[in-house]
Amino acid sequence: MKRREFLTSITALGVASTIPTLAQADVVNGGQPWEPGKIQTPPAPPRKGGLQYLTQHEFDTVGAIAERFIPADETSLSGKEAGCAIFIDRQLAGDYGNAVAIYRLGKFVKGTPEQGSQSSLTPAQRYRLGIAALDNALKQQYGKDFLALSGDQQDEVLTAMENNRLDLGEEVETKVFFELLLQNVREGFLADPIYGGNKDMTSWKMIGFPGARYDFRDLLPKKGQKLNIIPTSLIDNTL
């Protein structure tokens, strides 16, 4: 068989083999053109008002920690003011908090630091156990929980956690819990406001990030000019 005939036969075979699959394919709607204010497939806006996973005390503690991680200054709101605790509460109530994308069956063996945490705990469980363990440890040391400490004392506690010098008991890996808190506060501060944090797009304005803009064709001719782009969220009004 000549090469051209061989390639033609392979192509025909490939098309024939895909016909049953194509017959069962789903139709995807909502293509171009995109229209402002008519987003086709955004994340469902989180329920407004009320806590979804954290207790009020846990929520307040996370907010206080976010305040120490990201204090307010002339460039942006603080982590607490930006809604990082709201973001975290909503994430813990969903798939992230329940670790649905992480393998969690059978045997859990403590690994090396390079391997990351090998615990069976979900992020939501880490927060519940971690905040309780943190308060218990601080009551023994200071006679107060984290919320009752001064700002300087809170900084000392967080520094001790970062350096793994605060014992939170057998169930809670101190440094792992600290890194989870830091990671989630950062995410809440920088994520789209549709998820509950980054109030008024404060972090995007600070770093000059344009947000969820469709394209930049209208800006291409403006070379060498200060653009002063107003950030755009997935929702019309930030939470």
The sign of the torsion formed by the CA atoms of 17, 18, 19, 24 equals: positive
Residue 211: strand pairing partners:
232
Among 60, 62, 68, which residue's Cα sits nearest to residue 150? Answer: 68
Per residue in 169-209, pLDDT (tens digit) is 989 999 999 999 999 999 999 999 999 999 999 999 999 88
Question: For residue 150, is it within any domain?
Answer: yes
Q: Are 208 and 228 in contact (CB under 8 A)?
A: no
Helix (H, G, I), strand (E, B) or coil at 142: coil
Structural domain total, the chain: 1
The two structure tokens encoding residue 120: 């069976």
Question: For residue 46, is it within any domain?
Answer: no
Question: For residue 22, is it within any domain?
Answer: no
Question: For residue 120, is it within any domain?
Answer: yes
Domain that holds residue 198: 56-207
Question: For residue 114, is it within any domain?
Answer: yes
Side-chain half-sphere of 147: how many Cα atoms within 13 Å? Answer: 10
Q: What are the start-end ranges of the H helices in the chain?
A: 3-23, 56-69, 84-92, 123-141, 151-162, 174-190, 202-207
Question: For residue 215, is it within any domain?
Answer: no
The two structure tokens encoding residue 4: 């051209």
Question: For residue 238, is it within any domain?
Answer: no
Would you give the end-to-end CA distance of the chain in angstroms? 67
Per residue in 123-175, pLDDT (tens digit) is 999 999 999 999 999 999 999 999 999 999 999 999 999 999 999 998 999 99
Percent over 90 (pLDDT), the chain? 54
Long-range contacts of 214-221 (CB under 8 A, 24+ apart): 214/34, 214/36
Question: For residue 151, is it within any domain?
Answer: yes
Rounded to two decimals, what is the model's pTM?
0.75
